[in-house]
Amino acid sequence: MSKTMAKIWNNKLYMKTLFADLVSNFGDIVYYVALMNYITLIPEKELAISIISIVTPLPSLFSFVTGYYADKTKQKVRNILITLFFRTTLYIVLAFAMGFSPALWIVLLAIMIDFISDVSGEYENGMYLKIVKNIISDEDRESFMAFAGSLFNSLYIVFKALGAVLIAVMSFQSLAFLNAATFLFSAIVLLSIKTSVLEAIGEKKAEKSLDSKEDCQSEQNVETTVENKKFNVKEIYSEQKQAFQFIFSMDEMKLCANVWQVENALSAMIMSLVVLMLGNGDSILIISVAATIALVQISDALGSLTGGYLNIIFFKNVRLTTFLKVDVIVFLAMFIALYYRQIYIVLACNVILSISTVSTNAKLFSFLTNNYDEDKLGSIYGGIESFFCIGSIISGIIFSVLVLTVSINTIVLIAIGICVAQLLYVFLNKEKKKQEV
């Protein structure tokens, strides 16, 4: 263990890229808490929540496209820097808008900017996959990823708590400027290690070559643009077909994929329901609105942190269907707790679900990185993310309609019915398999 940690800390290039990522994540976390608090200040909070429910998962849905173009991007470091500066500019614009009195149009602007920023972030993450793979040796990759996951989730708790404090002492405009500054800082860090990263991924010579040829090829590019687009569409389809074949080729994946879709849909509703209950003055408040929202996400981070360590020590040989059984039972308990406004039970259930999620994600990510080359990582990973995002999209659309037409309790009862149905599906499916064996 000590040797592994020594390797991690001595890999300065990896630690710097990880640090830059942590800083930008801090800005995103504080911004999200601020936005959810800002919504409670406007009279059209139900409409705002319904729009967020639809828009928030959309960037993940487009991951198969951004991942594909991330793989095809030749100058990854330069394009990562461009996305970071672009996202900095977006939140500077939002910060100026936040100077006006709270209004629906500002929330809509914030949602639009957040969407554009997240799509850019998906593209950026796809390009980072090759960098991370090349600055870590094959035998150390699993340990490095486990360390990164634990560190992110540990600091997530700290960032959430700090975000709640900052909201109390800073204006919403200042918090938007803070988010912009985190992206700018990440760009500065990457600039400081640009040469080393280029050498690690073999782009240094290619970058010079591409720069010298850009002017000479400009006329030829006009002729081939249409052909390339047609070819790209076919290639995107082909690579996504491979991604789905990969998903359904694994043992138990057909059952898991169906249930995960429903679980993603249910998960997408949790925070929105909590915010609506807080806005309606229901008895789920813990200290303050900001503290309650932060605690829901802190519980998620706490479960992820615990799950990361448990997966390394205990869960390596646990089957996916075992986690599935735990999930369907806990989801049912969580929505029953929401119905009776038992927020502490909701938090406990969220911790358990996060432990399960981290373990299942670790198994999938390990299989993915070990079976696909670096030139297709963005496409395959993006395709899988898009596939599992469908449940969140459907949930957001349905939830946005329900929140405007029925009561909160009715929505929760519908969710409880879905939980019962998927619990029966999982257990009956398992019994059927036992009979077949």
pLDDT digits (tens, 9 = 90+) for 368-410: 666 665 666 677 677 777 777 776 677 777 877 888 888 888 8
CATH topology of domain 9-436: Growth Hormone; Chain: A; (1.20.1250)
Residue 81 CB partners (closer than 8 Å, separation 6+): 187, 190, 191, 194
The C-alpha angle 390, 26, 152, rounded to 5 degrees, equals 70
pLDDT of 204 reads 53
202 Rama class: left (phi>0) / alpha (psi -120 to 50) / beta:
left
With a cut of 50, list the residues of the chain below it in pLDDT: 206, 209-216, 218-231, 431-437
Residue 20 CB partners (closer than 8 Å, separation 6+): 185, 186, 189, 190
CA-based torsion, 380, 385, 388, 389: positive or negative: negative
pLDDT of 3 reads 67
288 Rama class: left (phi>0) / alpha (psi -120 to 50) / beta:
beta
pLDDT digits (tens, 9 = 90+) for 142-163: 666 666 766 776 677 677 777 7
Least Cα distance to 61 among 415, 403, 397, 419 occurs for 397
CA-based torsion, 45, 111, 267, 288: positive or negative: negative
Output the pTM of the full model: 0.67
Residue 121 CB partners (closer than 8 Å, separation 6+): 59, 83, 87
